[in-house]
Structure 1
């Protein structure tokens, strides 16, 4: 099966009302075959593990590339020079060494984001005025989050939507105008952005002695990860602060978990309790593994998260993260960055990829 057939199969899956395990299995194996054929570094990695399309019979047997591999090789089935977009990691953990995810076209990425966002964040509403606490795509052209938020505004943002960041700094007067107008109008609105910007905003509001009560039905989306760009805040304190400063109940404070290396995002259903359960749409699956053995850990125990994202058509569908978590009914609990044995296992996997991918 070629690229066109895989793309059509995925588009059909994204239109479906509910999950179809057989369809996921079939498309995952077809996509693995396509990526094995057209992605040379990935093919060499698979060969080193003795996993080829003739041998692999189930989606969970498809070799997962360690996340760090995106910093060491161009994992693309197409010519990167002709890409519509190249999203890059922030480089906060390894300055000067940024991972890159090549997107020859953003069609599937956009479909995945919009279908999932509508269901998990918008709920019954078609439009919300949105205040965006993150730079515009023109400022950060290689940021997947900047693109994600611009899509949200373009497709779901009301007429009073506004970017509340200039360059990379919060524009506080514009922020206050947005919040006051939302209170005055009585129409539900949304604040969306990076968690560290929310910390800066809450610090500012506390300093100014300000708080707001946004209209019933308003909601907040934060994207997690302070990444050294603000003071550390305990998650329970963070969500209590959002509720207190904006008058948005914690069950309307949604956290999105996404990675540059993926084309699909995970969401929770609010943060009345933390850590919250994350889940994704039916074109993505998650395993929790021991990174050294590659085997699933017993249900409910902690391991490293591996995501199988069918929307990663043009790179690799299976990505082993450096995040640890545990499986729960209907999703997983994200526990943070891998530490100790888990971190060493991730490093070993990355070293194995480096050795094999060079040919």
Structure 2
């Protein structure tokens, strides 16, 4: 059986996704290509860990039975129940009934079997990213809950609580001559010259309906949607219906969470016209807050970094480490060095408004 393979590279680390279904590897090539290098390859000794993913109903059922017939635990993984168990040899078996996905993991080889190509492709990309993340964490990289924009190699990092305006800040800069590096998370690591290297965290980008309207790109997004082009499949059906109906105001789930359009990384460029960056050096930190009717303004110096600014295995709520991919320990000294170097950067607290032109002007002046 002919297999296609995509090798994904970040900071000299590699993961390979292989499948006999070309749409599965095409998905990873599209998902990682704009931010992490994704090239056609062959699975081999130098290709890093392997994700072997396929549409195989029989194998999916067999792997599922290895979970359900034995004692197992249940967690929520990617917003769906996941049953998992580990045998005496350390091999992990897992199954997600809602999507008919089954998994088998032993060191450096992760097998995914399912009944539908899109769900398998989603899982393969997600787990490839987790495998590469584990290598980067072992190499001393840490993950910040931050957006980032780059110009001439210098990176503006935007930190704050959920809803503070991190994505808005990065998008405004990206529409003002900067390149978008990340909209929600970034990898950071101290360099050898007293600075901090920054890498992107590839993911679907969630941008609210109101933000799309304020940025002046809603009509383009809706036109593409009506023409049959599709955003990321994790997008809620209510968002797709809102685009069909031409609704521009934010919509919310019963939990109070805003439901947003979900863009593939490449669609940030093809749909929204935003240039993307693949790396940078930390140069400034912005701590925004959104006040819709306020005049955009500087409010003072930013705060020091705190523990909640960093992602850890304990705070990763969407993708718990059921496969044991994360390093058992992290280098606390590296994190302290990171926090000190980032805190020493020029930092500013700002208030932004729904006046995108005025907000963009303020940010551009700060970032000079």
TM range (shorter): under 0.3
* Structure with a larger share of its residues in strand: 2
TM superposition score normalised by structure 2 = 0.25
